[in-house]
Structure 1
Amino acid sequence: MNTAITRIALAAAGLAFAGQLLAAEPKRPECIAPAKPGGGFDLTCKLAQSGLKDGGLLKAPMRVTYMPGGIGAVAYNAVVAQRPKDPGTITAFSSGSLLNLAQGKFGRYDENAVRWLAAIGTDYGAVIVREDSPYKTLNDLLDVLKQDPGKLVIGAGGTIGSQDWMQTALIARAAGVDPQKLRYVAFEGGGEPMTALLGSHVQAVISGLSEGTAQLEAGKVRVLAVMSEDRLPGKLTNIPTAKEQGYDITWPIVRGFYMGPEVKDEDYAWWKGQFDKMLASEDFAQLREKRDLFPLAMTGDELREFVLQQVAQYKQLAGEFGLVQ
């Protein structure tokens, strides 16, 4: 009799625990991409959308919504101030978001204002031109800038001090060119610069490589350099690095998600658990590779520590260019 009662009690406890897990799953999951469609934030949200769905880790379909403004500033402020407890919303971030935080561009909120959830991959900065461009190498392009910094129009996602500007500035500085003298056209997000490049409104784009791989595969653009330590694997192996062309510049672009500061621990833990499972999946690794991102997996406290270290490093770099507010 006691055994039967024990079994019933254990079963009831198991059902209660399962009920708690189910209760933690959001009914209307949402991923906020803090820019217009087509750029890196959009790619980040859609990668999680597919990975969680295909892995059976999210029952309800996750919608992607767009909240452009300030390369993440509008979304960051909205989540912290207006939706701090929302258990169903994750928001995409990148290294560019952290760079802006380092410069105080997100207003009164700093890097401690949100709950850092998961990093799911890394991209790399790249210098991209049209396929019919006269510039065949990075040195071809930089030789022109050395003679006349204002001759070329360079398009990128973000204003002075943004991630794309910082990549541009590092390359210019390495070539002995004053970054302040460049003709730099800022766009909102990564999709618009590529459109401007294809329309010949700008002569080069400096942004994340993944934002141009679709056009690369279509034969519409050429990548003059990728800012990785070594050449990338697979179909991207023919792209030279900036380092091998004489410019010791690397720029990895972390892509991931955060949640509101007052999200309950059980809701945060549910999302973290789902991302841990997704990131350990071989199916997700293949999906990430198809999106031209490279392995990087961090969640929870590990990611938070990484974010704090990155922001500190970016503050130092921004100070070198006189950008810290």
Structure 2
Amino acid sequence: MVSSFSSLLIAAMACACPPAGAQGWKPERPVEIVVPTTPGGSVDLTARTLQKIFQETGLVRVPVTVVNKPGGGGAVSLVYLNQHAGDGHYIATNTPNMIANDINGRTPVKYTEVTPLANLLSQYTAVAVRADSPIRTGQDFIDRLRKDPGSLAVSTPTTLGSINHLAFALAAKAAGVDVRKLKAVILGSGGDAVTALLGGHIDAHVGTTSSVVRMVETGKIRVVAIAAPKRIGHPYEAVPTWTEQGYPVVMDTWRGVIGPRGMTREQIAFWNDVLSRAVATETWKQALQANVWEPNYLDSGQTKKLFDSDYAEYKSILTDLGMIKSP
């Protein structure tokens, strides 16, 4: 006869070991985080921060590598990602450019043909110039464009019709400038744009606040306007928004994570859990503060709604700007 103690021990062991089905899916081989830009920009930094958190915390118990697949404004990375359809070992960082490029017809992969996993943060576009530039305010920037829209070479990574390009065009349009005459310079990432700006190859850069934050802190770059709903934190406390300067322009270049098409519910659930835990870590909170990122975590279902909403908004903007034909 089994003793009372033995019975209790067996019951406790059973409770401590959930059935295999309850454990769900988990990676069994190395994971790749695919990045649609060259190394050095904020999209790349997001991926490398996640990689660090996954490995240091043990949230992902297999090796995790970051793989840069720049080109085509993100199209190359999306094609690569979907070559691994249904494989949860491949995830990618993404931005609103994925949606804008879908509308523009610049990518063979539609935004509905990937699996939304999470949105991680919000950040806003800024107009940046060298510290020695005669452009000292957003109004100076607008005045130059009004006088001659093509007089300023402005980087807008990573393709025509990108979110950075939209932010540039929206500010110009709000000031009555012919957006078709703007001189947008396409570069591979925010890091490439900063290098070009410091080297004097372009006059200004329209990109995320995080893409220039280091150079702003060292005094080599000045930001003259930010497309945010309100002023943001250090080192941009003194920088007025476009709205404050008379031009109501807001552009959120959120940062998310997607997977290939055809992922299972179990795979999605795994990444929902991992990513929600990752954004709660101290390492992530430090990255938010260091890069002027605003926390904005959304799970898979909420991220899909964000994609759908932004698709409708961007299509309207691009049509108004004459970048696509009306339906």
The residue aligned with 1:52 is 54
The residue aligned with 1:303 is 303
Q: How many residues align?
A: 323
- Taking a change above 3 Å as real, the CA distance of residues 273 and 236 of structure 1, as seen in their structure-2 partners, is same
Contact 1:47 1:288 in 2 (8 A): no
Pairing of 1:135-214 with structure 2 (within 5 A): 135-214=135-214
Contact 2:24 2:266 in 1 (8 A): no
The residue aligned with 2:76 is 74
The residue aligned with 2:107 is 106
- Taking a change above 3 Å as real, the CA distance of residues 198 and 283 of structure 1, as seen in their structure-2 partners, is closer
Could you say what secondary structure the match of 2:319 adopts? helix
Are 1:94 and 2:74 counterparts?
no
CA distance in 2, matches of 1:63, 1:179: 40
What per-residue deviation string (whole Å, max 9, x for no partner) do you get for residues 233-287 of structure 1? Answer: 2332122211111111011111011011222322221111011122234552233
Report how far residue 16 of structure 1 moved.
5.4
Unaligned runs of 5+ in 1: none
Are 1:37 and 2:39 counterparts?
yes
CA distance in 2, matches of 1:195, 1:283: 27
CA distance in 2, matches of 1:128, 1:177: 19
Contact 2:126 2:206 in 1 (8 A): yes
Moved over 4 A (4+): 2-7
State the one-letter code of the partner of 1:212. Answer: V
Report how far residue 111 of structure 1 moved.
2.1
- Taking a change above 3 Å as real, the CA distance of residues 319 and 7 of structure 1, as seen in their structure-2 partners, is farther
Report how far residue 14 of structure 1 moved.
4.6
Pairing of 1:97-136 with structure 2 (within 5 A): 97-107=98-108, 109-136=109-136
State the one-letter code of the partner of 2:73. Answer: I
CA distance in 1, matches of 2:25, 2:300: 20
Contact 2:156 2:184 in 1 (8 A): yes
CA distance in 2, matches of 1:114, 1:291: 27
Report how far residue 21 of structure 1 moved.
3.8
Report how far residue 91 of structure 1 moved.
0.5
Report how far residue 205 of structure 1 moved.
0.6
Q: Percent identity?
A: 30
Report how far residue 60 of structure 1 moved.
3.3
**TM-score normalised by length of structure 2:** 0.91
The residue aligned with 1:63 is 65
State the one-letter code of the partner of 2:230. Answer: D
What per-residue deviation string (whole Å, max 9, x for no partner) do you get for residues 202-256 of structure 1? Answer: 0101111111111111211000111101110233212221111111101111101
- Taking a change above 3 Å as real, the CA distance of residues 185 and 284 of structure 1, as seen in their structure-2 partners, is closer
**TM-score normalised by length of structure 1:** 0.91
Report how far residue 175 of structure 1 moved.
1.4
Report how far residue 171 of structure 1 moved.
1.0
CA distance in 2, matches of 1:315, 1:17: 47
What per-residue deviation string (whole Å, max 9, x for no partner) do you get for residues 4-45 of structure 1? Answer: 568547635753547974861343121111111112320221
Pairing of 1:234-245 with structure 2 (within 5 A): 234-245=234-245
Contact 2:126 2:207 in 1 (8 A): yes
Contact 1:155 1:205 in 2 (8 A): yes
- RMSD over aligned CA atoms reads 2.3
Contact 2:217 2:235 in 1 (8 A): no
Could you say what secondary structure the match of 2:74 adopts? helix
- Taking a change above 3 Å as real, the CA distance of residues 12 and 106 of structure 1, as seen in their structure-2 partners, is farther
State the one-letter code of the partner of 1:139. Answer: Q
CA distance in 1, matches of 2:194, 2:267: 38
Contact 1:51 1:287 in 2 (8 A): no
Contact 1:39 1:211 in 2 (8 A): yes
The residue aligned with 1:313 is 313
The residue aligned with 1:227 is 227
Contact 1:44 1:256 in 2 (8 A): no
Contact 1:146 1:177 in 2 (8 A): yes
